[in-house]
Amino acid sequence: MKIFIDADGCPVVDITVRIAKKHSLECYIICDTAHEFQKDGATTVVVEKGADSVDFKLVNLVRAGDIVVTQDYGLAAMCLARKAVPLSQNGLVFTDKNIEELLFSRYVSKKIRNAGGRLKGPSKRTPEQDEHFRQALEKLIEQ
């Protein structure tokens, strides 16, 4: 089992790397040249900037049973197809049962934005969200 992080805009990189080190798991941070950074205990893979370049690189690296930390529903769906376990930054484990509804919600939101509508953005991240993510990641590793 390896852990992959879709690191562009991910608020739980440090938590993920710390947990991977604790469990002696390989951890990969996938980012583009606009968000390049290094973390002790993880291997950083940098790809060229471009629409979905990080997503495609990650999907090509991931294998069955790996954990993928992402907030991108499309990437989560591709990882599910590869039998990986995608986990959101808030601790939601993406499954075949919930991904269709999430993708449809994303589609509807995009249609609203394209029509000139506005949607409320995410609220400020809380320590409780970080703790919920940490617990969910620990539970996945232990299963």
One-letter amino acid at 101 equals E
User: What's the predicted TM-score (pTM) here?
Assistant: 0.85
Which has the closest alpha carbon to 89: 119, 69, 111, 64? 69
> What pLDDT is attached to residue 108?
65
Structure confidence by residue, pLDDT tens digits, 18-70:
999 999 999 999 998 877 788 999 999 999 887 788 999 999 999 999 999 99
What pLDDT is recorded for position 121?
66
Query: Cβ neighbours of residue 66 under 8 Å, at least 6 residues apart?
Result: 1, 2, 3, 4, 84, 85
Domains identified in the chain and CATH numbers: 2-95+123-142 (3.40.50)
Helix, strand or coil, per DSSP, at residue 130: helix
Antiparallel, parallel or unpaired: β 67-69 and 43-47:
unpaired
Q: Check residue 9 and give its pLDDT.
A: 78
Q: Give me the residue label for tokens 């900037």.
A: 49
Residue with tokens 């609203």: 112
Q: Which residue has the tokens 């934005």?
A: 113
Sorted by sequence, the CB contacts under 8 Å of residue 100 that are 6+ apart come out as none
Cα gap 89→82, rounded to integer Å: 20
Q: Which residues fall within 8 angstroms of residue 138, CB to CB, at 6 or more apart?
A: 19
